[in-house]
Amino acid sequence: MKTLSFVSTMLVLVALVFVQFLLATQSRAERIKEFDRSGKLIVVEKTAAELQPAYNIKNKSPEKVFPVPRPPFSEGIFPCSQCHGYMKPNPQRRILKDYHEDIVLHHAEGQRWCTDCHNLLNRDKLRLVSGELIDFSESYRLCGQCHGDKFRDWKVGVHGKRTGNWNGDKQYLLCVHCHNPHDPKFKPLKPMPPPVRPDAASH
């Protein structure tokens, strides 16, 4: 009697393990409809590993922080909160008259305004399209949102300037060390006057 119940318990256990195994293999593979190279709709079997997306916005690794010198602020303007901490933020697009008159936006200005890059509430931070706030020492990420090709080149030292050991720590210049963020296009240089002819200069 005792051995019989032992055997039946074992049988139930084995059966359970078997069912478990079947379920597991089923949940691992899935039939997926997708388009093949010629654009035909096909049904393919995919394993769980294949179903796992290789890239996902949520598991994106944080952007690397690059060592840079101090951002090229004008004397005494930073922190911005020394004034803006006490001012009511004004999101209105307008010609600035009280301060910053020297800033004239000439950088896809038809489509945007100061607060696309500067955070309205905390003026000491820059703002990405995603809403993430970043420090001025990371402004390359702001530029990289729209100039992805230049940002890639900059990271590997093809665009811009990178100094340091070839296999040691490297320092990068920020995009804004060379480009004015408000008016980034380089102006064509005014040609120098022609040299004075020596015979004209001698009398």
68 is an interface residue for ligand HEC by CB under 6 A: no
Mark the segment that binds ligand HEC (CB under 6 A) among 14-22, 47-55, 91-99, 163-171.
91-99
Residues 17-56: x where in contact with ligand HEC by CB under 6 A, - otherwise, as a string: ----------------------------------------
- Residue choice 107, 122, 134, 157 for contact with ligand HEC (CB under 6 A): 107
* 154 CB-contact burial (10 Å; exposed 0-12 / middle 13-18 / buried 19+): buried
Q: Are strands 162-164 and 170-172 parallel, antiparallel or unpaired?
A: antiparallel
Q: How far is CA 36 from CA 21, 32, 42, in A?
A: 32, 12, 7
140 is an interface residue for ligand HEC by CB under 6 A: yes
- Residue choice 68, 118, 127, 138 for contact with ligand HEC (CB under 6 A): 118
Residue positions counted in the chain: 203
Question: Is 137:175 a contact under the CB 8 Å cutoff?
Answer: no
Alpha helix ranges (H) inside 44-156: 48-51, 81-84, 139-144, 148-155
- Residue choice 46, 66, 78, 134 for contact with ligand HEC (CB under 6 A): 78
185 is an interface residue for ligand HEC by CB under 6 A: yes
Q: What is the CA radius of gyration of the chain?
A: 31
* 75 CB-contact burial (10 Å; exposed 0-12 / middle 13-18 / buried 19+): exposed
182 is an interface residue for ligand HEC by CB under 6 A: yes
- Residue choice 9, 25, 47, 90 for contact with ligand HEC (CB under 6 A): 90
- Residue choice 15, 47, 112, 135 for contact with ligand HEC (CB under 6 A): 112
Residue whose C-alpha is closest to residue 100's, from 121, 84, 119, 116: 84
List residues near ligand HEC by CB under 6 A. 71-74, 77-78, 80, 82-84, 89-90, 96-100, 103, 105, 107-108, 112, 114, 116-118, 123, 126, 136, 139-140, 142-147, 150-151, 154, 159-161, 173, 175-179, 181-182, 184-186
